[in-house]
Amino acid sequence: MKSFTYERAKSPAEAATAVARTQGAKFIAGGTNLLDLMKLQIETPAHLIDVNGLALDKIEPTSDGGLRIGALVRNTDLAADPRVRQDYALLSRALLAGASGQLRNKATTAGNLLQRTRCPYFYDTNQPCNKRQPGSGCAAIGGITRQHAVIGTSDACIATHPSDMAVAMRALDATVETVRPDAAARRIPIAEFYRLPGDTPQIETVLQPGELITAVALPKPVGGTHVYHKVRDRASYAFALISVGAVVQRDGTGRVALGGVAHMPWRVEAAEAAMPRGAKAVTAQLLAGAKPTHENAFKLPLVERTLGAIMAQARS
């Protein structure tokens, strides 16, 4: 690990200003992803800004009947909150499908949204990776691609986003709240928060340098049956081959978001109009334009079967 300096921020605006003014600075909260990347020298921040003392660890009701989740709320606490379990069960189930109990005790809401890909070529510093070293190439293309993306890819990157929580947030139409270094606040719909890889896969979100996530807001509950199915190679502590988060209403309408298939949580709202016609019709639109490899083409029928199981469960 390379040497770095450290400070504790006293306010969100101070934290944002400190990162913006210091080249190579990063925020740190739970550190469940960043510290691993630092040990491998994939991330080499010159300065760390500790945001754990910023009192962003509350879950509070909003004036429109939703919930505001502080950026520092731990995944365990969020999954266990009675309001989340009752009104946003999809979020609770997605959180409990992620990582291990020990990691959920440390991982934060904002950190979960911002965790980086688990592509093995990204983690192997002997391999070229445009996300780790822009312009170096993508070793995954033409490599082992069982875990990789099937849609929204580019010639520069076929990595997937690893977060389970982000899939639920996308289905629930969350809004990411931030503060900029000039102390200005911003609200970013999660549908606009993540970027596809294009030619710049190292730029993963629309956050500006120094911009700090302060909270994630959920709109008022939508009701229906909330289900999160995660298909993986082992029963726990594994990232998704594919995951399907869905909210299904009694009339068969609903919402669907996918994990494990793209560079971001994947949702196509137009495809949801086909839900009353069944999983096949939804999947055809949801994954239209998919470009799987021969090793991960199984993900397309797996999405259809998993969504079909969810819709059958919701009707039972």
Please, where are the H alpha helices in the chain? 12-21, 34-39, 75-80, 82-87, 89-96, 101-106, 109-114, 120-123, 165-171, 279-286, 299-315
Burial class (CB in 10 A: 0-12, 13-18, 19+), 3: exposed
Question: In whole angstroms, what is the distance from residue 172 CA to residue 204 CA?
Answer: 21
Angle (deg, nearest 10), helices 279-286 and 299-315 = 140
Q: Are 171 and 247 in contact (CB under 8 A)?
A: yes
Neighbours of 300 (CB within 10 A): 18
pTM for this structure?
Answer: 0.97
Residue 204 — φ and ψ, nearest 5°? -100, -20
Residue 61 — φ and ψ, nearest 5°? -70, 150
Q: Quick check: helix, strand or coil at residue 313?
A: helix
Neighbours of 141 (CB within 10 A): 18
Q: Quick check: helix, strand or coil at residue 123?
A: helix
Q: Which residue has the tokens 């994939």?
A: 42
What's the chain's Rg over C-alpha atoms?
19
Question: Which residues on neighbouring strands pair with residue 254, listed in sequence order?
Answer: 248
pLDDT (tens place) for every residue of the chain, 316 residues total: 689 999 999 999 999 999 999 999 999 999 999 999 999 999 999 999 999 999 999 999 999 999 999 999 999 999 999 999 999 999 999 999 999 999 999 999 999 999 999 999 999 999 999 999 999 999 999 999 999 999 999 999 999 999 999 999 999 999 999 999 999 999 999 999 999 999 999 999 999 999 999 999 999 999 999 999 999 999 888 999 999 999 999 999 999 999 999 999 999 999 999 999 999 999 999 999 999 999 999 999 999 999 999 999 988 8
Question: In whole angstroms, what is the distance from residue 47 CA to residue 42 CA?
Answer: 15
Beta strand pairing call for 67-70 and 175-179: unpaired
Per-residue pLDDT at 121:
98
